[in-house]
Amino acid sequence: MSKSDRKHDQTPPNESAKVSEATAAEVAADETEAAEPGAEEVAAIEAEPDPLAELAAERDEFKEKWLRVVAELDNVRKRTSRELLQSRRFAQADVLRSFLEIQDNFERALQSEAGDADTDHAKSFREGVELIYQRLRGLLKEKGVEPMEVLEQEFDPTFHDAVGQLPREGVEPGIVIEVVQQGYHFGDMVLRPARVIISA
């Protein structure tokens, strides 16, 4: 091989370096393009559901349901408690009404015996009956039974049972002027309405 051929075959060192750098740049560009996702890939990634967001939404849904169940359970507990208390009061009221009849009989017995209390025997009998009567009244009071104050009050069918009307001078119509049978309260419940006579 001649010297001239060798000169043509050899590439200057600077040009060889430039070619290598250009090749390296092209390879790097190709790798970057391969590494960077295209627009379609980005859209596909963004369209995928976020598992954390799904879990958070599911957690919030279960929490809301749980709060609703707790509130409903509390309402049921309160309602049951009220109904139980009310049923107990109604049961007590039925029993106490029976005692009121006994008390009425004691009152009548004491009123009829009042004129005949001449002998010692009659006096001791009356005292015994009075003791029983007082004990019964005390027991009813302990249980929450209170007599109604109805005289000279305006007639109210919630608390009064009118059995008659009488004209009364100086009294407006519809006012209670006489109590035939005492009425009683049991707490805020009407245990027995008062039987009354009202002014005409």
> What's the token pair of residue 47?
């369209």
Rounded average pLDDT over 124-152: 88
Rounded average pLDDT over 143-149: 91
Residues 135 and 141: beta-carbon distance below 8 Å: no
198 burial class (0-12, 13-18, 19+ CB within 10 angstroms)?
buried
Share of the chain above pLDDT 70, in %: 72
Residues 177 and 166: beta-carbon distance below 8 Å: yes
Here the CATH number for the domain that contains residue 161 is: 2.30.22.10
Comparing C-alpha atoms, which of 12, 185, 171 is closest to residue 96?
Answer: 185
What is the Cα–Cα distance from 191 to 90, expressed in whole angstroms?
9
Residue matched to tokens 């007590």: 92
The tally of domains found in the chain comes to 2
Helix 51-113 to helix 120-142 angle (10° resolution) is: 170
Least confident of 7-11, 81-85, 87-91, 193-197: 7-11
Same domain, 159 and 113: no
Domain assignment of residue 130, yes or no = yes
**For residue 18, what is the enclosing H or E element?**
helix 13-35
> What's the token pair of residue 164?
């008659």
Confidence of residue 129 (pLDDT cuts 50, 70, 90): confident
Same domain, 91 and 107: yes
Same domain, 55 and 131: yes
Domain assignment of residue 77, yes or no = yes
Count of beta carbons in the 10 Å neighbourhood of residue 56 = 11
Q: Where among 143, 160, 178 does a domain terminate?
A: 143
Range of the domain at 152: 146-200
What is the Cα–Cα distance from 99 to 36, expressed in whole angstroms?
96
Domain assignment of residue 27, yes or no = no
Rounded average pLDDT over 109-134: 76
